[in-house]
Structure 1
Amino acid sequence: MASAPDPHQPVIVSYLTLRRVVGVLGVSLPIVIALWGFSILGVFRVLPSISDYYGLRTRDVFVGTLFTIAWFLFTYRGYERKDDVAGDLACLFAIGTALFPNTGTRLEQVLHFASASLLFLVLAYFSLFLFTKTSGTPTRMKRARNAVYRACGVVMLACIGLIGLYKLALDETPVQQVKPVFWLESLALWAFGVSWFVKGETLLKDA
């Protein structure tokens, strides 16, 4: 006898799809704004940071992507209250990063950098502590996913620390020629994107 269809299955599929979309947005954001920036500037070079693309038409992608991610994180519901709180905080910080340009007033600059830093910290928390939770004995694929989550969380934290180190000790030195902030921000976004892409069960899915 065939089993009855699960009425919750469409909701589950939609939720997994949203996780994949968020992952794709995180991975693609640095690539899209850099390529669009090349066409606008007419030269093959990247700006010092992703936030600097706010000063070009690329801000449409920058702001739009952050608001889309913020909306999903606001609607994100996990198994415990702390999952919901983390999602709400990440939403707030994503909106703050989008609304306050790094080229605005002194207050806007402070709010932008604080929001961006706190956003990555919360996203790292998702990868390190929320995505790795399991009930019962984890499967082989779950253990593999947990390894990816932890690696992504560590990468995000390392990028935040290295950006802070650069700003404190290496800014206005020859190191700035390689645009370290842009590449570290991009790496952190790619780690975030991969983490959510895996959470969407696109990779390392249980049988």
Structure 2
Amino acid sequence: MKPLSPPPRRADDLPFSLSLKSVNRTTGYIALFLPLGLWTVGAFFGVCSAENGLNSISHYYFARIAGDLFVGALLVIAVLLAVFYRLPGKVDEYLAHEKTDLLLLKVAGVAALLVALIPTSGTGCEAADQIFRGYVLAPEGINDRTRDVSLPIETTLVFDLWASFGVAPKVLPYLHYGAAAVMFAILGYYCLFVFTRAQSRKSLKDDGSPVVTKTWRNRFYRICGAIIFAAMAALLFGMLTRDSLGPAWSGSNLTFWFEAAALMAFGFAWLVKGRFLWVLEDPR
């Protein structure tokens, strides 16, 4: 008698296991270590070493190697937020999630995508003799194999990405800032108002009060949410007082460090949600 063959796999089944905890931890680790990773890579390659780094995290888009890290990390976060948070009904650890909450995560994912693909303006560095990414507008016939390769080729070097498309860059930086603000606002909302809900029956005692581990997790969530919104307020203050505080603000790279604080708070909150430490697990 022939052994029974395994049942056919459904088209939407994955050949490996995937949990939302692992998605949360992956998102959290990327967000937590991205700011220091960018700064470290930039320091290694001497990116604006005279000013101890660039003015903002977004300006690392134009740095060698660090720019690839910046775009790649944000694209991964964007995909995880926009695609992987789809719940087939009520799922433990997500019982108090509403449809609007999941929709907001998708919006945050799209916002992260825009932040990655629509760069900010300027170099983020006032020092001279710095190397940044540029775009060469090649002339017609550059690929002509019959041309004399010993002759120089006249090209146009464009620093700004959108200028290479012939697009005026005046509005696009504000789209970048707006997308970043939407992303951080949604993540801060999640920390303060979504993750703090009782998402699992294990999180509650018989009398309906939260267990000790849930109480501690909520403290972490609220601290992270407060850091995100405080950093956003500080960044808004910096934009509004740019004329008066410009040199002092940019000289200290305060935009970078406030963005780093918000991004790392987001990452830590997602790590807590992913139970990256066993002591954060609820008793069974």
Same-fold call, TM > 0.5? yes
- Name the stretch that deviates more: 104-113 or 188-197: 104-113
Q: 1:188 aligns with which of 262, 265, 274?
A: 262
Residues 1:34 and 2:108 aligned together? no
With 71-80 and 110-119 compared, the bigger mean Cα shift is at 71-80
Match among 47, 53, 59 for residue 46 of structure 1: 53
Cα deviation for residue 174 of structure 1 reads 2.2
Report which of the two has the higher share of helix.
Answer: 1
Local SS of the residue matching 1:101:
coil
Q: For 1:130 and 1:202, how far apart are their aligned partners in 2?
A: 19
Q: Judge which range, 62-71 or 133-142, deviates more.
A: 133-142
Unaligned 5+ segments in structure 1 are 1-9
- C-alpha offsets along residues 151-186 of structure 1, whole Å, 9 cap, x if unaligned? 100100000000110121154232332111000000
1:114 pairs with 2:178? yes
Q: Give the letter aligned to residue 99 of structure 1.
A: L
Q: Among 153, 163, 176, which residue is 2:250 paired with?
A: 176
Q: Percent identity?
A: 34
In the superposition, the TM-score normalised over structure 1's length comes to 0.89
Match of 1:100 among 106, 110, 118: 118
Q: What's the offset of the Cα at 1:202?
A: 1.6
Q: CA–CA distance in 2 between the matches of 1:22 and 1:198? A: 11
Following TM superposition, by how much is the alpha carbon of 1:126 offset from its aligned partner in structure 2, in angstroms? 1.0
Q: Distance in 2 between matches of 1:110 and 1:167?
A: 11
Tell me if 1:154 matches 2:209.
Answer: no
The 1-side partners of 2:178 and 2:248 are apart by 26
Q: 1:64-143 to 2 correspondence within 5 Å? A: 64-74=72-82, 75-77=84-86, 78=94, 79-103=97-121, 104=160, 105-134=169-198, 136-143=208-215
Secondary structure, aligned partner of 1:106: coil
Q: Is the 8 A contact 1:86 1:126 kept in 2?
A: no
Distance in 2, Cα, partners of 1:167 & 1:142: 37
Q: Moved runs in structure 1, 4+ residues, more than 6 A? A: none
Q: What one-letter code is carried by the residue in structure 1 that aligns with 2:174?
A: V
Distance 1:191 1:100 in 2: 23
Q: Separation in 2 of the partners of 1:73 and 1:180?
A: 27
> What is the deviation of 1:120?
0.4
Q: Does 1:205 align with 2:205?
A: no
Measured on the aligned residues, the alpha-carbon RMSD in Å equals 1.8
Of 98-107 and 73-82, the range deviating more from structure 2: 73-82
Residue 21 of structure 1 aligns to which amino acid in structure 2?
T
